[in-house]
Structure 1
Amino acid sequence: MKKLSIIAMLMTVIGMLLWQPQLASADELTGHSHEQGLRYLISKDALVKDAKGSYRPNDNVTRGEFASYLAKAMNLETTSDIVFKDVPDTYVHAKDIKLAASAGIITGYGDGSFKPNAVISRQHMAVMLERAIDYLNIPKGTSSITFKDNAAIFKDYRQAVAIGAQLEIIKGSDGYFMPENNATIGQSSSFIVRLMQLAGDPDASGNSNGGNTNGGDTNGGNSNGGDTNTGSSKYAIKEISNGALVGNQGFSTFEAAEKAVTKNTQVIVQSDKIVKMSSGYVVTNNYVALKSETINDAVAVAANTEMEYLSSDATQVKVRLAGQVGYLKHADVTLIPFSMSKGRSYYSNENGEIKHTLYDYNTNKYSSSYIFGKAPSFMKPGEKYYSWNGIYFTNGNGSSNGEAYNYYQFLPARAQTQYTAQELDAYIMNKLTEIESTGVSLYKDATKKSKLIGLGQTLKDVEAKSQINALLVLSLAQHESAYGMSDHAQNLNNLFGLYVYDTNPLNKKFDSVADNINELVDKFLQPNYITPGGSPGKNFSNGAVVGSKALGFNVKYASDPFWGAKIAGHYYRAEKALGFKDANNPYTIGLTTTTGLNVRTGAATSFNPLFTYARSGMPVIITSSATNGWYEVLSDKLYTGKAFVSKDYIQVVNTVK
């Protein structure tokens, strides 16, 4: 009997050994560190088995394969007549490569080739991904993220890498990006699934293991940072006492803890992270794309941004950013009760000017400040004021508050500055002299080298031709090009970092700065940000002002919620230096109060509409008093005739200037 038992055991072990390889070959992706991404590509028919029946997850990915993955994941359908000499129609990925090229995601090499069978480096992949981000209209901002081996990243690829890292599409390992390393099929699948998660593809939000470490890259797009209830997670109720959390009443579920809260001073925590509170504010831990229910669109939000806390549950937090209401994952934000705040960004009246002082939640210190206009009359010197939207301000206890629209921040782009080309040139030179005197190395010889020198006439020509404020364009150029001293301005006549190419990313060289400005106006501002409705498929038109996250270019142009105010600051400083000609003879600004408002060619509903404002709160310039119940306004659509809008749907606002 003993011998029979031993024989039986041996047979069982042998059977198990024989069975294991069969299990592995039946599903080689189970438990793979990039399983989620790999299965996503399979679901899109982008990844198929080779002749040996393998998906080859650990093989290096080629340029042709990666282009094909992107084309299929993004459901690209439109093709043009782009042809690469080394991609014949018989090539396995020929159709997808053509689709990706037609979408502007790939451009190939200067000799007309694409090199589809060449393996792709991680930094080169980042360039393609950034172009896909633009195609999908995923909000992004200018990122300062760097890696320990940043110097090893080809200089003109660094922004693409930083954008991908900021969006958590790509990551490194131990602070290194390893730009020259080739990416595997598994890694590339994780990059793409994260991209499509940001794009809102429901097929990309699976719950498998995808995207843990492999080759130094981790998945930042699917983790809840421990905030999901796995069954073993515990919640606790703690009480705020003298700015600290005390007590530890435990609960097995969020719902049970929520029912047990009896005081406003109590919060619910999970792993020492506050997940619910009665009142306070929310700070973003990293770049996020807030899906705004208010405008039904994604809004880019930079790290370290303060937002109103509305509510939360076990998985997400409801927030409001400058009126935009949406939801974010707990892993993306930190909840801060007012009574536990160590510091907040604030506004103040400094010698009659409004100053915004920013707080850095990483260091718990005030980090920087800027002035962007005159202080509203209700702001008392020596007091701190807070605002969720840069329009309504309160000193915290309600004893001093009010509404204020900064003139330069909410001045529509169709306004015409009263300064001449000569005055603009004089201001530019005075400003360059000022920054050169700071001794900052970037500004060395600015008065001789800056690409802003002599731009006055070009700016006034653009204003006359395109009906876009010359001083506004100059303010954008100053902000985006470090006063014309950035590398792209100096080397490429590119004040705005326009365009990215496979072989020359961010290196489109313009023949002149004038060409670069015209490109910005004709290809970006005019069709997408100023003209109501924007270009087909590009929902960027939220008001023809630099604005804020509430309205204007800033809603979609930059993740920095104060980008619009900072541009306004450049305009204000120019005005201050030149004598406030624009402020002393200001335009009257109004806001629309309803959706679907028509702007017409005449002062009656019988006249044809020029265009329609899809959303309310759109700023308009009123050029004459109301006649028969209609205001004459400047058209946001490029148009030389008169435009009219019903007075009943316009609220005139008082601007601070």
Structure 2
Amino acid sequence: MKKTLNVTLLFALITTLLWNPGIATADELTGHAHENGLRYLISKNALVPDTNGSYNANNNVTRGEFASYLSKVLNLTESNEIQFNDVPDTYAYALDIKFAATAGIITGYSDGSFKPTAAISRQHMAVMLERAIDYLKIPKGTSSITFKDNDSIVAEYRPAVAVGAHLGIINGSNGYFMPEKNATIGQAATFIQRLMLLAGDQEANVSTYIIKEVSNGALVGNQSFTNFADAEKALTKNNQVIVQNDKIIKMSSGFVVTNKYVALASETIKDQIPVAGNTEMEYLGSDATQVKVRLAGQVGYLKQTDVTLFPFALKKDRSYYSNENGEIKHVIYDHTTNKYSASYIYGKAPAFMKPNEKYYSWDGIYFTNDSGSSKGNAYNYYQFLPARATTQYTAQEIDDYITNKLAEMESSGASIYKDATTKSKLIGLGTTLKDMEAKHQINAMLILALAQHESAYGMSDHAQKLNNLFGLYVYDTNPLNKNFESVTANINELIEKFLQPNYITPGGAPGKNFANGAVIGSKAMGFNVKYASDPYWGAKIAGHYYRAEKAMGFKDAGNPYTIGLTTTTGLNVRPEPTTGNSPLFTYARSGMPVIVTNSDANGWYEVISDKLHTGPAYISKEYIQIIETVK
């Protein structure tokens, strides 16, 4: 499982654009992969044919040509008479080069040259594009994107490459950027068109908007408009959608699926949330460039190019929950292959779930049927049990469970579990886990469940070779193969560098907004909000805990903790049941899970403090909602 932890997901903004053949008669550019960009440059008088009438779209673009394209598209007209020693006034692009240099978009070499006829490298192009981004005052955001050949990029050019890739203007191939490779005129045209789309140039968007109707499982109709606003005004029926380049970009209702790993800018918690590809989300609305979605209660926006919209009437299928022999099973649908791809059981099924029926949920808490009618809500005990809980299992019982589980995995015949009973890094961890629980007040079984999930029961390469049970520092964009001297050191690092300061302690470490509830949770609350992009990561870990309980006799669920949720923002947690003292800490957001240890404290609930504290903590009963958990 790849993480995000301290790394914001970096992603491409715009895919290759398609040309509407109705806009121009067929010629040498018709059907070209970069036709849209080429025609855009032509419309700006930046690209002109040669004496034979050809645009030479597949030729390498020169430094002079690329500077001229930018100058023309940006409508640069000011010159401070910057002169390069190899750009005479008679050179075809001399004036455009002066304009671009005056605007700060290009610079020359230390010998005073510009080398206008040299084919431009991809890294030099990225630098010019970044300067154009600055000139246009386009927000660059924060990016630390890297490619597999990052070391081949000139160090001072790496930020420009990262910005271009982050904004979707330039892309790599199979994880490589190929900095020294030259770009074609066609590719340069697409890069510039993407730049100008970001700048809001409507002329850069030459695609038409078509209204179609959903009828008998298909899209019919061909009413076209030159701009999104007019198409949107023409929508009169709930079964109508707006299509651009054969892609639905607006509908009345349905769901949204991420095409790849993205970052959702959540307006709910004012933070970036990593989201894996093939994640289903609620559709709330859209315009020509972005889609408003809700993921487990987190409302935010994603770019149209990052998602696919599915009207309910056109869906082939979707992920669902079911009651399988009294247990809740989550079956995941892959929208790229149109097949069910995985499933897992993670607890007892709630009472309202009937066998042989499908249930749907955006957050794993509130469930509906296929028509959207509410069927009930359920909080899985293991998924929403705060980390400060203490398991009732002894070190020996945990070791016995690990031994039996490894034998089970080994007998499965899967190659990864070959010799698991003798090689797994989980062997003999019971005492270590219980010692950690006593020292750090973090549930030993929770740590074990996390280790099982992240390390394939201690048999993954990172576990075997690096003693890394938790995928620490294995970021999506730049995995760091850190070698831990022992599994114990790895567990200590997880607790002391990640969970304790960032994910459990309210407020988290300075500058880090990872504390969204001290539970493994979901994208609604808990570690899962930021720790992993998989929206079901918390539920899957809960499944490991549940299956361990099932094997060991349900000692924890048999004597459960009482769990409540906070109901207000800015809630102070006190060291005594009175407001006459300074708070231990404050919950910035509502919906934070707490363990209630005493409900009879004169209008206060006694709770276990999420911040390490030797005694109990207290919250006014007015601000706690006790929840029923399924266990």
The TM tier, using the shorter chain, reads 0.7 to 0.9
Look up the match of 1:557.
Answer: 531
The 2-side partners of 1:21 and 1:330 are apart by 37
The 1-side partners of 2:287 and 2:150 are apart by 43
Of the three residues 302, 312, 319, the one matched with 1:338 is 312
Alpha carbons of 1:548 and 1:220: their partners in 2 closer, same or farther (altered >3 Å)?
Answer: farther
Q: Answer yes or no: is the 8 Å Cα contact 1:591–1:620 preserved in 2.
A: yes
Of the three residues 91, 95, 112, the one matched with 1:52 is 112
Say yes or no: does 1:589 pair with 2:527: no
Match of 2:333, SS state, is: strand
The 2-side partners of 1:648 and 1:57 are apart by 70
- Which structure 2 residues correspond to residues 508-527 of structure 1 after superposition, within 5 A? 508-527=482-501
Match of 1:256, SS state, is: helix
Deviations 1:510-562 (A, max 9, x none): 22211110111011100000000000000000000000000000000011000
Look up the match of 1:298.
Answer: 272
Alpha carbons of 1:368 and 1:29: their partners in 2 closer, same or farther (altered >3 Å)?
Answer: farther
Of the three residues 611, 629, 641, the one matched with 2:615 is 641
Deviations 1:62-109 (A, max 9, x none): 9xxx9xx9xxx9xxxxxxxxxxxxxxxxxxxxxxxxxxxxxxxxxxxx
Alpha carbons of 1:210 and 1:560: their partners in 2 closer, same or farther (altered >3 Å)?
Answer: closer
| TM superposition shift of 1:495 | 1.2
Say yes or no: does 1:193 pair with 2:167: no
Say yes or no: does 1:544 pair with 2:518: yes
Look up the match of 1:22.
Answer: 94
Alpha carbons of 1:222 and 1:310: their partners in 2 closer, same or farther (altered >3 Å)?
Answer: farther
Which amino acid in structure 2 is aligned with residue 484 of structure 1? G
- Which structure 2 residues correspond to residues 18-417 of structure 1 after superposition, within 5 A? 18-20=90-92, 22-23=94-95, 26=98, 50-52=110-112, 169=145, 179=149, 182-183=152-153, 188-194=158-164, 215=181, 230=203, 232-397=206-371, 401-417=375-391
The 1-side partners of 2:211 and 2:194 are apart by 24
| TM superposition shift of 1:494 | 1.7
The 1-side partners of 2:195 and 2:337 are apart by 24
Which amino acid in structure 2 is aligned with residue 192 of structure 1? A
Alpha carbons of 1:644 and 1:194: their partners in 2 closer, same or farther (altered >3 Å)?
Answer: farther
Of the three residues 492, 497, 503, the one matched with 1:529 is 503
The 2-side partners of 1:20 and 1:224 are apart by 24
| TM superposition shift of 1:477 | 0.7
Deviations 1:167-221 (A, max 9, x none): xx457xxxxx6x4982357973543214765xxxxxxx9xxx6668963899999
Q: Answer yes or no: is the 8 Å Cα contact 2:572–2:584 preserved in 1.
A: yes
The 1-side partners of 2:525 and 2:192 are apart by 28
| TM superposition shift of 1:225 | 13
Q: Answer yes or no: is the 8 Å Cα contact 1:532–1:613 preserved in 2.
A: yes
Which amino acid in structure 2 is aligned with residue 22 of structure 1? A
Look up the match of 1:466.
Answer: 440
Q: Answer yes or no: is the 8 Å Cα contact 2:296–2:363 preserved in 1.
A: yes
| TM superposition shift of 1:507 | 3.4
Which amino acid in structure 1 is aligned with residue 522 of structure 2? S
- Which structure 2 residues correspond to residues 427-576 of structure 1 after superposition, within 5 A? 427-499=401-473, 506-576=480-550
The 1-side partners of 2:479 and 2:363 are apart by 35
Which amino acid in structure 1 is aligned with residue 267 of structure 2? E
Q: Answer yes or no: is the 8 Å Cα contact 1:190–1:211 preserved in 2.
A: no
The 1-side partners of 2:584 and 2:232 are apart by 53
Look up the match of 1:77.
Answer: none
Match of 2:92, SS state, is: helix
Q: Answer yes or no: is the 8 Å Cα contact 1:57–1:184 preserved in 2.
A: no
Q: Answer yes or no: is the 8 Å Cα contact 1:60–1:184 preserved in 2.
A: no
The 1-side partners of 2:347 and 2:437 are apart by 23
Deviations 1:465-514 (A, max 9, x none): 0000000000111111111111221122221233489xx97333222211
Alpha carbons of 1:443 and 1:27: their partners in 2 closer, same or farther (altered >3 Å)?
Answer: farther
The 2-side partners of 1:186 and 1:236 are apart by 44
Match of 1:414, SS state, is: coil
The 2-side partners of 1:309 and 1:28 are apart by 43
Q: Answer yes or no: is the 8 Å Cα contact 1:344–1:359 preserved in 2.
A: yes
Which amino acid in structure 2 is aligned with residue 50 of structure 1? S
Alpha carbons of 1:290 and 1:57: their partners in 2 closer, same or farther (altered >3 Å)?
Answer: farther
Alpha carbons of 1:603 and 1:363: their partners in 2 closer, same or farther (altered >3 Å)?
Answer: same
The 2-side partners of 1:436 and 1:329 are apart by 44
| TM superposition shift of 1:627 | 1.9
The 1-side partners of 2:403 and 2:196 are apart by 51
Which amino acid in structure 2 is aligned with residue 353 of structure 1? E
Alpha carbons of 1:393 and 1:500: their partners in 2 closer, same or farther (altered >3 Å)?
Answer: closer
The 1-side partners of 2:625 and 2:375 are apart by 20
- Which structure 2 residues correspond to residues 571-650 of structure 1 after superposition, within 5 A? 571-650=545-624
| TM superposition shift of 1:352 | 0.4
Alpha carbons of 1:266 and 1:428: their partners in 2 closer, same or farther (altered >3 Å)?
Answer: same
Q: Answer yes or no: is the 8 Å Cα contact 1:372–1:572 preserved in 2.
A: yes
Question: Which range moved further: 251-260 or 548-557?
Answer: 251-260
Match of 1:612, SS state, is: strand
The 2-side partners of 1:302 and 1:653 are apart by 29
Q: Answer yes or no: is the 8 Å Cα contact 1:359–1:367 preserved in 2.
A: yes
Alpha carbons of 1:636 and 1:224: their partners in 2 closer, same or farther (altered >3 Å)?
Answer: farther
Where do 5+ consecutive residues of structure 1 fail to align? Answer: 1-14, 74-132, 139-163, 172-176, 198-204
The 1-side partners of 2:196 and 2:403 are apart by 51
Q: Answer yes or no: is the 8 Å Cα contact 1:283–1:307 preserved in 2.
A: yes
Where do 5+ consecutive residues of structure 2 fail to align? Answer: 1-86, 135-140
Q: Answer yes or no: is the 8 Å Cα contact 1:493–1:511 preserved in 2.
A: yes
Deviations 1:31-77 (A, max 9, x none): xxxx9xx95xx8xxxx9963435599967989xxx9xx9xxx9xxxx
The 2-side partners of 1:180 and 1:239 are apart by 47
Q: Answer yes or no: is the 8 Å Cα contact 1:590–1:621 preserved in 2.
A: yes
Match of 1:408, SS state, is: coil
| TM superposition shift of 1:245 | 0.2
| TM superposition shift of 1:376 | 0.3
Higher relative contact order (CA 8 A, sep 6+): 2
The 1-side partners of 2:191 and 2:387 are apart by 38
Deviations 1:561-618 (A, max 9, x none): 0000011011001000000000010000000000000110100101221000000000
| TM superposition shift of 1:26 | 3.1
Deviations 1:231-279 (A, max 9, x none): 6321111110011000111111111111111110111111111111110
Q: Answer yes or no: is the 8 Å Cα contact 1:415–1:469 preserved in 2.
A: yes
Identity of aligned residues (%): 66
Alpha carbons of 1:223 and 1:560: their partners in 2 closer, same or farther (altered >3 Å)?
Answer: farther
The 1-side partners of 2:590 and 2:193 are apart by 35
Which amino acid in structure 2 is aligned with residue 345 of structure 1? S
Alpha carbons of 1:626 and 1:305: their partners in 2 closer, same or farther (altered >3 Å)?
Answer: same
The 2-side partners of 1:512 and 1:282 are apart by 43
Alpha carbons of 1:277 and 1:489: their partners in 2 closer, same or farther (altered >3 Å)?
Answer: same
Question: Which range moved further: 211-220 or 596-605?
Answer: 211-220
Alpha carbons of 1:181 and 1:625: their partners in 2 closer, same or farther (altered >3 Å)?
Answer: closer
Alpha carbons of 1:186 and 1:603: their partners in 2 closer, same or farther (altered >3 Å)?
Answer: closer
TM-score (norm 2): 0.75
